[in-house]
Amino acid sequence: MTKIKILNGIFLRLFEVPTSKRDIWFVHGYGGCGRIFQEAFSSALLPANDLYAPDIPGFGASPPVDRLMGIRNAASLLGDLIDTVSAGCPIVIVTHSLGKIIGIWLCERFRNKVAAYIDVEGNLTEANAYFCCLANKYATAEELRRALVAKIFAMLKDSRGAINRHYASIQLADPKSLSIMGRSGASATGKEKSGKEFTSLACRKRYFWVDISTPQGTKDFIERIRLPNRRFAGVGH
């Protein structure tokens, strides 16, 4: 049964079993929340693994923190949470979208305990930063929030399920956290900076992507770098 805890001020969904062999940590993307991964909590991942899906502070049910919640600070806070929960236990990291940047830094921090890293359509190139880069285009955080809500609402007509959750979670997001996370996330992505950092990780890793939502620039990068990957057809981001 999925449980809820508040640890280090972070809202955490978890499923723990006595037969667990490793801890799997899910990191959501820009404006999202841990509920994006809800299907995992009733999947074949159980009962061999403990599952954890935190809401980054300022997003979902986690309140914003006093310090500026740029993406580097978010990675630090989630890393501290992993230290608290998964001490002495091997971990698998699963990230989505902008959460990829955090995942890279977590793999670097926990290089001796990361069993594998799976990223789902994360920011490999600047072409992936189509949501977070909007933070650089609006003068105020509230203008950015309204623009993101409108943009995602327009996508609902082609909804396949997960975008409905993203639409709900983006409205819960703290506007200032959206702005700071977007700006810092776009900067951390760079032209191909995050893609090269992902490629250089020593751990086992794989990039999952979708044919209809992955930009051409990112597809070219995957082919050029020969990135370990798996393509899916007919589903959305």
- State the residue range of the domain holding 9: 3-232
Q: Is residue 134 part of a domain?
A: yes
Q: Is residue 237 part of a domain?
A: no
pLDDT > 90? residue 167: no
Q: Is residue 164 part of a domain?
A: yes
Tens digits of residue pLDDT in 61-77: 999 987 667 999 999 99
Pinpoint the alpha helices (H) of 64-174. 71-85, 99-109, 141-155, 162-172
pLDDT tier for residue 46 given thresholds of 50, 70 and 90: confident
Q: Is residue 223 part of a domain?
A: yes
Q: What is the CATH number of the domain that holds 175?
A: 3.40.50.1820
Number of structural domains the chain divides into: 1
Q: Is residue 39 part of a domain?
A: yes
How far is it, in rounded angstroms, from Cα 100 to Cα 116? 13
What pLDDT, on the 0 to 100 scale, is given for residue 161?
A: 61
What pLDDT, on the 0 to 100 scale, is given for residue 166?
A: 83
Average pLDDT over residues 42-49: 88
Tens digits of residue pLDDT in 192-226: 999 999 999 999 999 999 988 899 999 999 999 99
pLDDT > 70? residue 45: yes
> How many other C-beta atoms are found inside a 10 Å radius of the C-beta of residue 16?
14
Average pLDDT over residues 89-103: 97
Q: Is residue 202 part of a domain?
A: yes
pLDDT > 80? residue 83: yes
Cβ–Cβ < 8 Å for 194, 124 = yes
Length of the chain: 237
Cβ–Cβ < 8 Å for 107, 192 = no
How far is it, in rounded angstroms, from Cα 213 to Cα 229? 15
Torsion over CA: 67, 73, 78, 82 (sign):
negative
Lowest-pLDDT range, 135-139, 159-163, 210-214?
159-163
Q: Which residues pair with 92 in a beta bridge?
A: 24, 116
Q: What percent of the chain has pLDDT over 90?
A: 78
What pLDDT, on the 0 to 100 scale, is given for residue 160?
A: 59
How far is it, in rounded angstroms, from Cα 150 to Cα 93? 31
Q: Is residue 42 part of a domain?
A: yes
Average pLDDT over residues 230-237: 80
Q: Is residue 168 part of a domain?
A: yes
